[in-house]
Amino acid sequence: MRDTIIFTLLVAVFLSALPFLCGGGANAEGAGAQCAPLQRETEAAAETDGAGAQCAPLRRETEAAAETDGAGAQCAPLRRETEAAAETDGAGAQCAPLRRETEAAAETDEEGRADVGIGPYGAAEADGAGAQCAPLQHETEAGFDAGFRLPVLRDGQIRSMDLHSYLTGVVLAEMPLSFADEALKAQATASRTYVLRSYDNRRHDKAAVCVNSGCCQAWRDPAEASPEDRARAEAIVSATDGLALYYDGALIDATFFSCSGGRTEAAAAVWGSELPYLQSVDSPGEEGAAHFTDETRVPLAEFRTALEAEDGAVSFPAALGGWVGAIRYTEGGGVDEIELGGRPFRGTWLRKRFGLRSTAFSLELTETEAIFVTKGNGHRVGMSQYGAEAMAQTGSSFEEILAWYYQGAELKPAE
């Protein structure tokens, strides 16, 4: 009996010491939170979760709510976003991914329902107290993707959808479903990484992404796909549930494009900023791509006028042979800089100005036209979609595909 009392006391002392063992988080984190990374976003809220939350992904949207985390949170990724808030995490939860997003006290998705499939709908009260959650695992029963609410800009409105549905729509739109599973899985993972990063950066103010392929990522409403296609895309997304790419602890800029023409570009060659994981790599086997090579013809007068408008110092001699001077290429085979009319022009500028499929072009001038013959399709930085398919066809796994195109990036469960 006495031993029992002593033991009980010891346990009580240990529990009361937990907050200190946890190292006391930044940001008014409540006692006991052991869970890194913690991020918040709110507009004006005092938040607190109930005690002993039972671990499933929990996500909320509110605008001015009073929330409180329970006591003893020992759990893995806990994430919040706030702007001006007094927040407190409680103690006691020992569970996995907890994620919130506040903006409107009542939680609703686009159909007006409370968040679906992600554990407790309600606030703190719904969380049980003192739950001893099972081993911390990234993937909960509902899955990381299913529990992650994503504000998506679509048809001019911000719609809340879960990451699983969003990525299913991206897979349906970004790659032909005739591609191999491993290529599609690489796409799903790159796209998840992309959108999680956009979520953090708020590319569209209150929305994480839009559905415009020219801006963010292509997306097709899964409800509009055939049941077979939808099931396949969903299975692909599920097979990579929660996985994302990191470098130095941060989500990478997982850019991708259609086809490189044989070799990708380093980020620095196209956007000017050096990124260790976005380097130029070989990308063989893309010959079957729709625009592996292409041609863009520009009337010569228009070509000349455009260059003169861009740089008043250009000077075109009578003979066409004197119009094109030195060309400098990038490591990825693109035109870095080309001398036209005695002045230097960037390959990226020419691509944009004349709507070329890529910067990897040759230029031929005739009496009537400037003819660009391009190789590849897109900015050619990051993962080549046709290259990924070629790798998958020759037996590479999606992990190997991602490791090839995003060199040095680490694939792991999202935090």
Q: What is the per-residue binding string for Zn ion in 35-54, x denoting contact by CB under 5 A?
A: --------------------
100/149 Cα distance (integer angstroms): 8
The CB-of-265 to Zn ion minimum distance in angstroms stands at: 22
Q: Between 174 and 286, name the residue whose CB sits nearer to Zn ion.
A: 174
Task: Please tell me whether residue 58 binds Zn ion under the rule CB under 5 A.
Answer: no
Distance of CA 208 to the CA centre of its chain: 10
Q: Between 202 and 343, name the residue whose CB sits nearer to Zn ion.
A: 202
User: Can you list the pairs that 337-346 forms with residues at least 24 positions away whose Cβ atoms lie under 8 Å?
Assistant: 338/363, 340/307, 340/314, 341/304, 341/307, 341/308, 341/311, 341/314, 341/315, 341/316, 342/313, 342/314, 342/315, 343/307, 343/311, 343/313, 343/314, 345/307, 345/310, 345/311
| Complete DSSP assignment for 34-49 | -------B-SSEEEE-
With tokens 């679906």, the residue in question is: 116
Q: Between 21 and 215, name the residue whose CB sits nearer to Zn ion.
A: 215
DSSP secondary structure letter of residue 116: P
Whether 408 and 274 have beta carbons less than 8 Å apart is answered as no
The CB-of-209 to Zn ion minimum distance in angstroms stands at: 6
Which of 213-221, 228-236, 263-271, 378-386 is the region at the interface with Zn ion (rule: CB under 5 A)? 213-221
Q: Between 118 and 208, name the residue whose CB sits nearer to Zn ion.
A: 208
The CB-of-379 to Zn ion minimum distance in angstroms stands at: 15
Q: Between 195 and 401, name the residue whose CB sits nearer to Zn ion.
A: 195
Which of 82-90, 115-123, 130-138, 212-220 is the region at the interface with Zn ion (rule: CB under 5 A)? 212-220
Closest by CA position to 27, among listed 10, 12, 14, 42: 42
The CB-of-141 to Zn ion minimum distance in angstroms stands at: 32
The CB-of-195 to Zn ion minimum distance in angstroms stands at: 10
# residues near Zn ion by CB under 5 A: 3
Q: What is the per-residue binding string for Zn ion in 134-153, x denoting contact by CB under 5 A?
A: --------------------
Neighbours of 135 (CB within 10 A): 6
Closest by CA position to 165, among listed 229, 107, 219: 219
Residues paired with residue 296 on neighbouring β-strands, in sequence order: 372
The CB-of-156 to Zn ion minimum distance in angstroms stands at: 12
Q: Are strands 209-210 and 149-154 parallel, antiparallel or unpaired?
A: parallel
Q: Between 210 and 381, name the residue whose CB sits nearer to Zn ion.
A: 210
Q: Between 38 and 209, name the residue whose CB sits nearer to Zn ion.
A: 209
The CB-of-192 to Zn ion minimum distance in angstroms stands at: 16
Q: Between 218 and 320, name the residue whose CB sits nearer to Zn ion.
A: 218
With tokens 């759990």, the residue in question is: 75
The CB-of-348 to Zn ion minimum distance in angstroms stands at: 20
Q: Rule CB under 5 A: which of 258-277 touch Zn ion?
A: none
Q: Between 118 and 216, name the residue whose CB sits nearer to Zn ion.
A: 216
Collapse the DSSP code of 209 into the 3-class scheme (helix H, G, I; strand E, B; otherwise coil) and give the result.
strand
Q: What is the per-residue binding string for Zn ion in 215-234, x denoting contact by CB under 5 A?
A: xx------------------
Q: Are strands 98-99 and 78-79 parallel, antiparallel or unpaired?
A: parallel
Q: Between 210 and 254, name the residue whose CB sits nearer to Zn ion.
A: 210
The two three-digit tokens of residue 16, written as one number: 């009361």
The CB-of-201 to Zn ion minimum distance in angstroms stands at: 11
Whether 332 and 360 have beta carbons less than 8 Å apart is answered as yes
Whether 67 and 41 have beta carbons less than 8 Å apart is answered as no
Q: What is the per-residue binding string for Zn ion in 171-210, x denoting contact by CB under 5 A?
A: ---------------------------------------x
Q: What is the per-residue binding string for Zn ion in 356-375, x denoting contact by CB under 5 A?
A: --------------------
- In the complex, the residues that contact Zn ion under the rule CB under 5 A are 210, 215-216
